[in-house]
C-alpha cells in the first residue's frame, strides 16, 4: 500500500532513489513512476510538471489517524525532503511555442503536488502550483494548507457540497491552486482568465 507517488520524466527515477529511502525512513511507502511530457493542452498549468508528487488516499487513511502533532511533524519532514528537489530553475522544463520561442510561466513547471478525490463515481484532481522562487517556509505552508484541504475533502461527513462544487467548476477535471502569502490562504485559480491575462486570477 503506497502512501505517496512521485512521477518524473522518463529516465529520471534513479535520481530520486535517495529521496525514496529518506521518505521510507518516515514510514512513507512511495511509488516512483516515469512519464512522457504531454503538450496536448494549451493551458500552461494543466501540462504535467517535470516532477509530480501525489498524496494517495492511503496517506490520509494512515497518517491522519495519528494525533495532529505527530501528523504535522511527519508532514513537515516530508516538506523538508521535497524542497530539495522542488524548486530548481536550471532544471525547469520549458514550454515551447509553435514558433520555437519559450513561453514564460508564472509558476514553476518543475514541480507540483496533486491529489485525486473520488466520491459517488465522480472525481476531480486538485493540483498545487508554486512560484518559481519560493522559500522553504512558503513551500511548507503551501503543502500544509493543501493537506488540510484534502483532509477535509476526504472526510465524507463534511465535504459533500464543497466536492460537488469543485466537480461543477473544474477545468478538464482539474482544479489548480496556489498559496496566497498575503492573504495566508489557498486560492483556486481561474486558469483560463489567468492564461489570457498572464497573471494570477483567482476564482470567486
Q: Give every residue of the chain whose pLDDT is below 50, as ranges.
A: 40-41
Sheet holding 174-180, edge to edge: 30-35, 4-9, 51-55, 111-119, 122-128, 174-180, 185-188
Query: 51: helix, coil or strand?
Result: strand
pLDDT computed for residue 170 by the predictor: 66
Nearest to 127 by CA among 179, 82, 83, 168: 179
pLDDT computed for residue 173 by the predictor: 84
pLDDT computed for residue 127 by the predictor: 95
Asked if residue 48 lies in contact with residue 33, where contact means CB atoms within 8 angstroms, the answer is: no
pLDDT computed for residue 82 by the predictor: 93
pLDDT computed for residue 40 by the predictor: 45
197, three cell numbers: 491575462
pLDDT computed for residue 37 by the predictor: 61
Amino acid at each position: 500500500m503506497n502512501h505517496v507517488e512521485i512521477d518524473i520524466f522518463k529516465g529520471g527515477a534513479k535520481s530520486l532513489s535517495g529521496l525514496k529511502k529518506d521518505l521510507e525512513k518516515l514510514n512513507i511507502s512511495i511509488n516512483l513512476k516515469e512519464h512522457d511530457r504531454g503538450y496536448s493542452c494549451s493551458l500552461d498549468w494543466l501540462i504535467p510538471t517535470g516532477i509530480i508528487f501525489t498524496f494517495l488516499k492511503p496517506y490520509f487513511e494512515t497518517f491522519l489517524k495519528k494525533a495532529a502533532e505527530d501528523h504535522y511533524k511527519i508532514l513537515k519532514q516530508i516538506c523538508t525532503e521535497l524542497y530539495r528537489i522542488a524548486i530548481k530553475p536550471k532544471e525547469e522544463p520549458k514550454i515551447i511555442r509553435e514558433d520555437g520561442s519559450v513561453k514564460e510561466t508564472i509558476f514553476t513547471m518543475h514541480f507540483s503536488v496533486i491529489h485525486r478525490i473520488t466520491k459517488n463515481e465522480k472525481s476531480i484532481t486538485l493540483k498545487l502550483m508554486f512560484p518559481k522562487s519560493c522559500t522553504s517556509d512558503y513551500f511548507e505552508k503551501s503543502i500544509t494548507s493543501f493537506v488540510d484541504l484534502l483532509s477535509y475533502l476526504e472526510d465524507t461527513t463534511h465535504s459533500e457540497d464543497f466536492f460537488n462544487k469543485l466537480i461543477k467548476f473544474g477545468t478538464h477535471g482539474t482544479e489548480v491552486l496556489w498559496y496566497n502569502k498575503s492573504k495566508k490562504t489557498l486560492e483556486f485559480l481561474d486558469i483560463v482568465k489567468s492564461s489570457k491575462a498572464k497573471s494570477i486570477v483567482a476564482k470567486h
